[in-house]
Structure formats: structure tokens, C-alpha cells
Amino acid sequence: MSQEAAPERAVPEQPVPPSVPEQKGTGAPQGLLQQMEELMAALSADLSQLDADLQSTSDRHEPPRQEPDQAH
């Protein structure tokens, strides 16, 4: 019976693959894709903010540069 069930399941799946490239993943795949895109956008924004924070923090913690005239 499992062999009979497999072809029956394959038949409804055939219309789905042609529609996926046209609509770029509708239904559950689109939901997952959209969620991944949102997570990647949030991660990118977080990394950009972290980079800006680290750059400003490193600027504040650098010792002031002394010119040779001031050292004497």
C-alpha cells in the first residue's frame, strides 16, 4: 500500500514546482523565505550597528596622539 500512496502523493506535487519559479515560492515556502529575508535584514542591521558602536568605542579609547614637539 505504501507503494500505491507514493504515486498518489507525487501527482498533486507536479503542479507545484512549475508555479514556484513563476511566483518565487508561494504558500509555506514563501513564508519561510520571507521569514529568512526578514531575519537576514535584521541581522545585517544589527551587525551594522555593532560595527558603528565598535568603531566609535575604539575611537574614544585610543590614547591621544602626542606630537614630537609636545613630548619634549
Across the range 4-25, mean pLDDT stands at 48
CB 19 within 8 A of CB 26: yes
Our CA angle for 25, 31, 35, nearest 5°, is 120
Across the range 42-60, mean pLDDT stands at 93
23-50 pLDDT per residue, tens: 555 555 778 999 999 999 999 999 999 9
pLDDT exceeds cutoff 80 at 15: no
pLDDT of residue 58: 84
